Amino acid sequence: MAQILPSIFGADILRLKDEIEFLERENTAILHVDMMDGNFVSNIAFGPNQIGAMKKASKMMFDVHMMIDHPKDHLDDVIATGAEMISVHYESTPHIHNMIQRIKKAGRKAGVVLNPGTPESVLEYLLDDIDYVLIMTINPGTPGQTFIEKSLEKIANLKKMIGSRPIQIEVDGGVNDVIAKQVAGAGAELIVVGGYLFGGNPDERYSILREAVK
């Protein structure tokens, strides 16, 4: 069964404490947190100080998605937040393997993120070193976009590449209950949902999402 990872970026910024408490009551295991610098992507959100404060107030595991330029300069600060999972864009650094090594040396799970236009084949020489792959199913940084259908093929191809390795596939972007079922069927195990979950009745939609990925 796939897991739903709520994205706090999709929540009401004026009610973050209430939203986190709601997710705790729903027994959410992992919270997805976007870190955006306004350069690698157009939006700006959640620096290490804010992430660390949320982490201290929560029992959930944190999955930090570093959507930033020069991630090597900020990785130590992200590690210091206490986040258990940290992912870096393949496109954001020429030293992706070094980033993976630093994350794993800190005892955290290391993930590599692929933009929609980046083929899964770039991971061939990284698969023995990573814990998860995050496939962007929209162009990163701007919520509300439509899910890119070609992503289903990408997920299935990556699943074959992974083989028996203990690597999880995570998906982020344009996910609702219908899409959640489709990506889970293609092989995704961690499914990030933001706008759909928080844009309606969260209690009802969380239940619908969980049912969809059973």
Q: Please tell me whether residue 209 adopts helix, strand or coil conformation.
A: helix
Q: What Rg value do the Cα atoms of the chain yield, rounded?
A: 16
Q: Is 177 tagged catalytic? A: no
Pair of tokens at residue 15: 């009610």
Whether 12 is a known active-site residue: answer no
Q: Which of 34, 37, 63, 131 is flagged as catalytic?
A: 34
Phi-psi region of 70 (alpha: psi -120 to 50; beta: other; left: phi over 0): left
Element (H, E) at 179: helix 177-186
* Distance in angstroms (rounded) separating the CA atoms of residues 83 and 74: 13
Q: Is 29 exposed, middle or buried (0-12, 13-18, 19+ CB in 10 A)?
A: middle
Reduced to 3 states (helix: H, G, I; strand: E, B; else coil), residue 62 is strand
SS3 181: helix
Per DSSP, the residues of 86-117 read EEEEGGG-S-HHHHHHHHHHTT-EEEEEE-TT
Among the options 37, 63, 131, 172, which is catalytic? 172
Q: Which tokens in the block code for residue 172?
A: 């982020």
Catalytically annotated residues: 34, 172
